[in-house]
Amino acid sequence: MSPTDPAFATACVRNRHTAKGPVHPHREAIYPTSAFGYPDTASAMALFEDREQGYVYGRWGNPTCDAAAEAIADLECAGAPELREQVGARLFASGMAAIASALLAFAGPGERILVQRQLYGGTDELFRRWLEPRGIGRISVDLNDPAALAQALAQKPVAVYVETPSNPMLECVDLPALASALRAHAGGGAGGGRPIPLVVDNTFATPWAQRPLQLGADVVLHSTTKFLNGHGSALGGCVVSRDRDWLNGPLFDQLKLLGAVPSPFDAWLLLGGIKTLDVRMERQCANAMVLAGWLSGHAAVSAVHYLGLDGHPFHQLASRQMRGFGAMLSFEVAGGLEAGIRLMDQVRVCTLATTLGTVDTLIQHPASMTHAPVPAGERAAAGISDGLVRLSVGLEAVEDLQADLDQGLSDPGR
Ligand X SMILES: Cc1ncc(COP(=O)(O)O)c(C=O)c1O
Does the active-site annotation cover 120? Answer: yes
Selected from 64, 223, 321, 330, the binder of ligand X by CB under 6 A is 223
Question: Where do the DSSP E strands lie in 117-245?
Answer: 137-141, 159-163, 198-201, 219-223, 237-241
Binding-site residue total for ligand X (CB under 6 A)? 14
The nearest distance, CB 97 to ligand X, in angstroms, is: 7
DSSP bridge pairs for 89? 240
Cis amide leading into 133 (omega within 30): no
Kind plus residue range of the DSSP H or E element containing 91: strand 88-92
Nearer to ligand X, 216 or 237 (CB): 237
* Cα distance from N-terminal residue to C-terminal residue, the chain: 44
Nearer to ligand X, 30 or 205 (CB): 205
Nearer to ligand X, 324 or 326 (CB): 326
The nearest distance, CB 112 to ligand X, in angstroms, is: 21
Residues 299-338, one symbol each (x = binds ligand X by CB under 6 A, - = not), give: ----------------------------------------
Nearer to ligand X, 140 or 302 (CB): 140
Does the active-site annotation cover 201? Answer: yes
d(CA 387, CA 181): 38
**163 lies in the binding site for ligand X (CB under 6 A):** yes
d(CA 224, CA 204): 10
Q: In what order do the strands lie in the sheet with 351-352?
A: 301-305, 328-333, 388-392, 362-364, 351-352
Of 66, 174, 201, 266, catalytic:
201
Calculate ∠ Cα 235-211-291, nearest 5°: 70
- Find the Cα–Cα–Cα–Cα dihedral 180, 212, 236, 129, rounded to 10°: 30
The CA distances from residue 409 to 294, 298, 374, in Å, are: 13, 9, 25
Selected from 102, 153, 162, 235, the binder of ligand X by CB under 6 A is 235
Burial class (CB in 10 A: 0-12, 13-18, 19+), 39: exposed
- Residue of closest CB approach to ligand X: 95
Task: Tell me which residues in 103-162 interact with ligand X (CB under 6 A).
Answer: 120, 122
Closest CA to 238 of 325, 230, 229: 229
Nearer to ligand X, 171 or 404 (CB): 171
Look up residue 382 and give its amino acid. Answer: A
Nearer to ligand X, 31 or 204 (CB): 204
Does the active-site annotation cover 55? Answer: no
Q: Is 352 left (phi over 0), alpha (psi -120 to 50) or beta?
A: beta
**204 lies in the binding site for ligand X (CB under 6 A):** yes
> What does DSSP assign to residue 262?
P
**203 lies in the binding site for ligand X (CB under 6 A):** yes
Which residues have CB under 8 Å from 82's CB, separation 6+? Answer: none
Task: Tell me which residues in 53-112 interact with ligand X (CB under 6 A).
Answer: 94-96
Which residues have CB under 8 Å from 81's CB, separation 6+? Answer: none
Nearer to ligand X, 237 or 273 (CB): 237
Task: Tell me which residues in 19-38 interact with ligand X (CB under 6 A).
Answer: none
Of 16, 27, 59, 320, catalytic:
59
Nearer to ligand X, 163 or 218 (CB): 163
d(CA 196, CA 1): 29
**278 lies in the binding site for ligand X (CB under 6 A):** no
**369 lies in the binding site for ligand X (CB under 6 A):** no
Of 120, 266, 323, 390, catalytic:
120
The nearest distance, CB 199 to ligand X, in angstroms, is: 12
Selected from 64, 101, 116, 167, the binder of ligand X by CB under 6 A is 167
d(CA 106, CA 325): 31
Residue 383 · residue 349 · CB < 8 Å: no
Active site residues: 59, 120, 201, 226
Binding site for ligand X (CB under 6 A): 94-96, 120, 122, 163, 167, 201, 203-204, 223, 225, 235, 237
